[in-house]
Amino acid sequence: MFRSRVPTTAPVRGARLLPNPEGLPTLDLVVRRIRDEARSDGLEEGARREREAVGPLLDRITSDLDASATQALEELPRVAIQLASSIARTVLKREIASGEYDIEGMVRETLAEANVGRGTCTVHLHPTDYAQLADTRFRAGTSIQADEGVPKGDVHVETPLGLLVREALGAVDEIERRLLEDLP
């Protein structure tokens, strides 16, 4: 309880608390109602301010995400080509290292591309590849030579018209280059 002075015009002979008449709000109820209204108003004002502050931020984030998605979609074909080429190079290197490739077929294809017919030509191969073809017969005028300067898996055909080089890894690089050139 607390004490307070109430000014009066006559001496006070006694005081008592009267029950709240029906329908009149008590001080507690009035204070609670004012507090609830203030809280509700404060929550609404806080939410409004939050929307005002967050709205531009969300707009900027959305714009940034849209720009990033657009850029990613534009880069996707280039990245896919580079990834596929990298995988092809890795597989090809592994196949060459393990000797799991058709050197005879590669030599025959390269000879056909040389377009010398029955003319003379010399095929230069890595010594390991040469050893695999030691007993293989090719057309007359074609000789096979071991050449340390030729990488394993590559075929060099020397003709009267010039040198035709078939590089296994170079083919992957050329395919990648052409695919990238064809991109819009």
Please report, rounded to a whole number, the percentage of residues in the chain having pLDDT higher than 70. Answer: 90
More confident residue, 10 or 162: 162
Residues 88-115 have pLDDT tens digits of 999 999 999 998 889 999 999 999 888 8
pLDDT at residue number 184? 86
- Burial code (b: 16+ CB inside 10 Å, e: under 16) for 7-23 equals eeeeeeeeeeeeeeeee
With a threshold of 0.75, does the pTM exceed it? no
Given a cut of 70, is residue 27 above it in pLDDT? yes
Phi first, then psi: give them for residue 54, nearest 5 degrees.
-80, -30
Which residue ranges make up each domain of the chain? 102-168
Characterise 155 by phi-psi region: left (phi > 0), alpha (psi -120 to 50), beta (else): beta
pLDDT at residue number 1? 46
More confident residue, 64 or 14: 64
Residues 127-174 have pLDDT tens digits of 999 999 988 998 888 999 999 999 999 999 999 889 999 998 999 999
Distances in Å between the alpha carbon of 62 and those of 57, 58, 80, 170, 183? Answer: 9, 6, 26, 44, 28
Q: Starting from the edge strand earliest in sequence, which strands make up the sheet with 155-159, in order?
A: 142-146, 121-125, 155-159, 162-166
Given a cut of 60, is residue 2 above it in pLDDT? no
What is the mean predicted confidence (pLDDT) over 2-9? 65
What is the mean predicted confidence (pLDDT) over 42-57? 87
